[in-house]
């Protein structure tokens, strides 16, 4: 292989790795936000676990996640702003990164 092809392969491998890491972090973040929200909503352990399963969906965007959690809070009569959920997502994304060892 030429050095150009080696570099190209290296960049492709790095991109694939970065995508895998980001997927793992987002999945863990979604689990953490579901656990946090479930506790805020007063769910018991079984209901929290079921809620986690509902929110860990491949391809769900941050906006969809915020919308779903906000809807669940509204339905339960618990006041919360979108910005509070988004702030919690940022905190939990950092926590997920640390838990997975990607600091």
Please give the CATH topology (third level) of the domain spanning 3-99.
Major Prion Protein (1.10.790)
* pLDDT tens by residue, 49-78: 999 999 998 888 999 999 999 999 999 999
Residue 69 has φ and ψ, to the nearest 5°, of: -65, -40
Helices (H), the chain: 3-40, 45-55, 62-76, 82-99
Q: What average pLDDT does the chain have?
A: 93
Q: Residues of the chain with pLDDT > 70: what percent? A: 99
Which pLDDT belongs to residue 7?
87
pLDDT at residue 1 in the model: 60
pLDDT at residue number 14: 92
Domain boundaries along the sequence of the chain: 3-99
* Alpha-carbon span 63 to 79, nearest angstrom: 18
Helices (H), 41-81: 45-55, 62-76
pLDDT of res. 88 = 97
| Three-state secondary structure call for residue 42 | coil
Burial 42-67 (b: 16+ CB within 10 A, else e): ebeeeebeebbeebbeeeeebeebbe
Q: What is the pLDDT confidence band of residue 103, given thresholds at 50, 70 and 90?
A: confident
């Amino acid at each position: 292989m030429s050095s150009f092809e080696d570099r190209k392969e290296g960049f492709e491998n790095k991109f694939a790795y970065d995508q895998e890491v980001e997927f793992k972090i987002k999945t863990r973040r979604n689990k953490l936000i579901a656990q946090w929200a479930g506790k805020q909503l007063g769910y018991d352990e079984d209901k929290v676990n079921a809620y986690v399963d509902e929110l860990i969906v491949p391809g769900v965007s941050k906006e969809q996640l915020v919308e779903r959690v906000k809807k669940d809070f509204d339905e339960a009569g618990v006041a919360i702003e979108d910005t509070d959920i988004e702030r919690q997502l940022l905190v939990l994304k950092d926590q997920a990164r640390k838990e997975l060892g990607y600091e």
